[in-house]
């Protein structure tokens, strides 16, 4: 996280809510199943738009995304059109680049109106302080990925990758993405002890520097609500592959919800 992170205040309109969601991984594992999830997610976006003061997409909306100078990955027209519709209606949509879609440059913000963040941000909603991000590369361990992330974020490396023909570049990325999932399987879903949760360790370390009421992250594919401090809670948004979970802040409390049956319900599997 950059040094000197600046906190900004979002003035919530009365009766409105803030929504947080992540890890749809559209495009994976195949077209048919991805399209089914995309349609469900677009339905959810349409429903929350009726009372959304802002929507935060916390990364890995796509299983792979790279914006070439003259080309972008095929597909996803439903979700892209819905995002443009939301921002056209005046609803701020914040997009955090995840480890699968960190190569969002100028095309998506220009065409859909989303606000792109590449690092965690601090926000204040209704007097409550939030630290919000995707969650990759934070906390102890995983040095290998942290090195790889720096390479992927390097503008020279991005430019060199952009020289590849899109058919080659997207093909390679799809191969490595599938290889990564095959290697890790459902390991990200494992949870046995709160003290072993590395994002929780990161939250506790941040609390030594500054108080936050809520830490909101994705990446783990694991819906979580854990106490980080005496008056601080770490939430993980889960995913839209198996759990279909999200978070909603109503101006007073944050609730973990799910939408697996096409309607909002309180999520209790924590």
CA-based nearest residue to 136, from 254, 22, 260 = 22
- Taking only Cα atoms into account, the Rg of the chain, rounded to an integer number of angstroms, comes to 18
pLDDT of residue 189: 66
Mean pLDDT of 3-8: 66
Residue 57 β-bridge partners: 21, 95
**pLDDT for res 154:** 78
pLDDT at 162: 78
Q: What is the C-alpha separation between 238 and 25, in angstroms, rounded? A: 12
Is residue 104 pLDDT above 80, yes or no? yes
State the DSSP string of 30-73.
Answer: -HHHHHHHHHHHHHHHHHHTTTEEEEEE-S-SBS--B--SS---
Q: Who wins on pLDDT, 162 or 3?
A: 162
Residue that is written with structure tokens 């996803």 in the block: 76
What's the CA angle centered on 236, arms 269 and 170, to 5 degrees?
Answer: 115
Say yes or no to pLDDT of 117 above 80: yes
Query: Which has the higher per-residue pLDDT, 44 or 165?
Result: 44
Residues 48-65: pLDDT tens digits?
999 999 999 999 999 989
| Residue 139, preceding peptide bond in cis (omega within 30° of 0) | no
Among candidate residues 149, 117, 137, the one with its CA nearest the CA of residue 219: 137
142 band by pLDDT with thresholds 50, 70 and 90:
low
Whether 181 has a pLDDT exceeding 60, the answer reads: no
Percent share of the chain, pLDDT over 70: 87
CA pair distance 42, 93, nearest whole angstrom: 14
Hey, what domains does the chain have and what are their CATH numbers? 16-266 (3.60.21.10)
Work out whether strand 121-125 and strand 214-217 pair parallel, antiparallel, or are unpaired: unpaired
Q: Identify the pLDDT of residue 196.
A: 82
Q: pLDDT value at position 130?
A: 98
**Do residues 57 and 21 lie in contact, with contact meaning Cβ atoms separated by under 8 Å?**
yes
Residues 6+ apart with CB under 8 A from 83: 45, 93, 112, 113, 114
pLDDT for residue 156 = 82
pLDDT for 88: 98
- Calculate mean pLDDT across residues 225-241: 96
Whole-number pLDDT of residue 183: 39
Mean pLDDT value across the chain: 88
Query: Is the confidence at residue 178, as pLDDT, over 70?
Result: no
């Amino acid at each position: 996280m950059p040094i000197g992170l600046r906190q900004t205040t979002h003035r919530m309109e009365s009766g409105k809510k803030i929504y947080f969601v992540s890890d749809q991984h559209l495009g994976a594992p195949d077209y048919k199943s991805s399209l089914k999830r995309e349609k469900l997610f677009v339905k959810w976006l349409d429903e929350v738009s009726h009372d959304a003061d802002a929507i935060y997409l916390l990364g890995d909306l796509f299983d792979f995304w790279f914006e070439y100078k003259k080309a972008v990955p095929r597909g996803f027209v439903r979700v892209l059109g819905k995002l443009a519709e939301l921002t056209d209606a005046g609803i701020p949509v914040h997009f955090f680049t995840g480890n699968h879609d960190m190569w969002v440059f100028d095309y998506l913000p220009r065409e859909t109106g989303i606000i792109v963040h590449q690092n965690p941000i601090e926000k204040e909603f209704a007097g409550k302080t939030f630290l919000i991000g995707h969650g990759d590369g934070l906390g102890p361990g995983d040095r290998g990925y942290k090195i790889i992330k720096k390479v992927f974020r390097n503008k020279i490396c991005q430019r060199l990758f952009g020289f590849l023909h899109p058919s080659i570049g997207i093909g390679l990325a799809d191969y490595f993405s599938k290889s990564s999932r095959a290697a890790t399987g459902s390991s990200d879903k494992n949870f046995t002890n709160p003290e072993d949760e590395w994002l929780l360790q990161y939250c506790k370390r941040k609390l030594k520097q500054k108080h936050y009421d809520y830490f909101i992250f994705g990446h783990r594919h694991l819906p979580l609500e854990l106490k980080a401090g005496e008056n601080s809670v770490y939430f993980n948004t889960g995913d839209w592959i198996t759990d279909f979970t999200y978070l909603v802040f109503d101006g007073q409390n944050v609730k973990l919800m799910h939408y697996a049956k096409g309607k909002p319900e309180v999520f209790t599997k924590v």
